[in-house]
Amino acid sequence: MWHRYTHTTAHTMARLMGSWAFAIFLNFHLGEASGDGYGTGGIAKYTLSASQPIAFFAFLQRYFPVHCQDQGTVCNASFNCGQAGRAALCLDEACTYPSSGEHVFGLHLVNVSARPYGPMDNIDVERHFTYKLGEAFKSKTYDAFMDVSVVLYAADLDRYVVALQRDHVDFLVLRWMDDSGEPRYSLIVQVSTSQLILELVSSTKPTSVSSFVEENIQRLPSHVFALNNVSTASPAILVPLAISKGVSNISAVSKFYTEEMFAVETHSSTSESHILRTFSPQHSTLLVRLVQRPASATRGPFKLSDLEKAKHSAHAMAGTDEFCGVDKWYDNHFAYDAFWNTSLDAFKDAFDKHGRTYHIFGDCLPSKVRGPGTNIYVVDPTGDAVQVDGVWKNCPRGGSGDALGNPCSQGSCQKYQATKQCTQKLNALCSTVKLRNNTCTDCAYLHWQLLASASCRNADVVNYCISSSEAHLNVVI
């Protein structure tokens, strides 16, 4: 398809998309890509906010076939205003990198410490996950928080069962049938004490498991296995199948994915104990799975609806406009590459029509710095985000930075001026750490109620705390 594009068209697209995004576009159209992952279209990665990204990366690497996201960046590093553990699934038994450096599926854990978190930080949420899953593993019962996961195909579950048992890592193995009546087996495991839950699905019964938890749910439709060629998958790799979301209102989330993300519903399964639906985004071999269960399907008073409220509260606190204000919970997202499907304008129009919260990164200018270019992070009804990468017809000017390329920044906030009352309160509370980036924001966000009562906005905290050199720095990680 490359011959269709004139030099002028290519130059224009490179300018709109940024050099890295345009390279991905060319990789696809030159026929190098197959299946979802970086450079292929569809769903490229799954990211979560994490209190200990490097430690969690080490856990992933110990038990599962992953490597650093690519050879050009440090995958598990600390940097000013944050820390990241960025893994990608291996593509072969030797875990070699593809020649292009793309096409791998990412599993990312990040802690961007200069950004607000609302009523609950990531470590608070991780404690809830760890308690609920720990109790479920011990009692060999399912918990609704297990529906918040990334689903991967494993030809051989025994290698993971044996390794986890050896180190006394708890897990659960389910037995269920898909819509064609084919028996399937799912191993559920929490990555250390993080929010990252892996569901490893296999068509082969693991022999090292003596008993299974019987599930009456068609957890995935049969066609997703064929679509991702799992019958040819090596036992040494994992193949991504779906992003799974436990939800409190499946109707609202379903409408978001069909009406605003332009996905197609592909499967449903309903009983007294659950409602399940899967959706196929355009040009994606992966599915988005939504599962709603009764509030009683999780232990303790903290429910999925409480988690959703906490995330939405953080978004409301952080956002001043679509270019200024990013909280930690934007890091709970998957990336959807839509370079050759629908323009970003169409997504934005749909988001605006439904009053959706979003942040636009990038300034639509050409860049030699590696990164996804201009994109939208939109908040879905669960409080999680979707990173929508693509091409603008009319790129909105006013944005800046990148989600991790500028870890101290929260976009373009310089246009906002703090009131005298707010400035006085910031000086009273945090003057000794002014412009000291995350040290300063730590002070400010711990006193957020006092600042808010003094008419401060999050933009005022950003301008008070983040040094201009950091706000415009591009960190390659």
Q: Is 131 in the same domain as 278?
A: yes
Q: Residue 445's pLDDT band (boundaries 50, 70, 90)?
A: very high
Q: Would residue 397 count as lying in a domain?
A: no
Q: Is 55 in the same domain as 170?
A: no
| Greater pLDDT, 339 or 306 | 306
Q: Residue 326's pLDDT band (boundaries 50, 70, 90)?
A: very high
**Average pLDDT value for residue range 208-229:** 95
- Give the highest mean pLDDT range of 94-108, 242-256, 463-477: 242-256
Domain tally, the chain: 3
| Residues 336 and 40: beta-carbon distance below 8 Å | no
Which contiguous run of DSSP H or E holds residue 56?
Answer: helix 53-63
All residues at 6 or more sequence positions from 246 whose CB lies less than 8 Å from its CB, including other chains: 144, 145, 146, 147, 148, 291, 292, 293, 304
Name the average pLDDT for the chain: 88
pTM over 0.85: yes
Q: Would residue 401 count as lying in a domain?
A: no
Question: pLDDT tens, 355-385?
Answer: 999 999 988 777 665 555 688 999 999 999 9
CA atoms within 13 A on the CB side of 344: 28
Q: Is 146 in the same domain as 286?
A: yes
Q: Is 104 in the same domain as 134?
A: no
Q: Is 43 in the same domain as 184?
A: no
Q: Residue 472's pLDDT band (boundaries 50, 70, 90)?
A: low
Angle at CA of residue 447, ends 455 and 458, nearest 5°: 45
Q: Would residue 449 count as lying in a domain?
A: yes
**Average pLDDT value for residue range 14-37:** 40
Q: Is 187 in the same domain as 236?
A: yes
Q: Is 286 in the same domain as 169?
A: yes
Q: Is 340 in the same domain as 360?
A: yes
Q: Is 235 in the same domain as 382?
A: no
Q: Is 285 in the same domain as 378?
A: no
Q: Is 255 in the same domain as 163?
A: yes
Q: Which CATH number covers residue 360?
A: 3.10.180.10
User: Does the structure show a pLDDT above 50 at 27?
Assistant: no
User: Does the structure show a pLDDT above 80 at 142?
Assistant: yes
The CA distance from 388 to 31, in Å, is 22
Q: Residue 20's pLDDT band (boundaries 50, 70, 90)?
A: very low
Q: Residue 100's pLDDT band (boundaries 50, 70, 90)?
A: low
Question: Range of 432's domain?
Answer: 420-471
C-alpha distance across the termini of the chain, in Å = 32
Question: pLDDT tens, 165-174?
Answer: 999 999 999 9
User: Does the structure show a pLDDT above 60 at 195?
Assistant: yes
pLDDT of residue 59: 97
Range from 30-34, 53-57, 248-252, 361-365 carrying the lowest mean pLDDT: 30-34
Q: Would residue 445 count as lying in a domain?
A: yes
* DSSP summary character for residue 473: -
User: Does the structure show a pLDDT above 50 at 103?
Assistant: yes
305 token code pair: 């609806």
Hey, which bits of 182-312 come out as E strands?
A: 183-190, 197-202, 213-214, 238-247, 264-271, 274-280, 287-292
User: Does the structure show a pLDDT above 90 at 347?
Assistant: yes
Q: Is 135 in the same domain as 10?
A: no
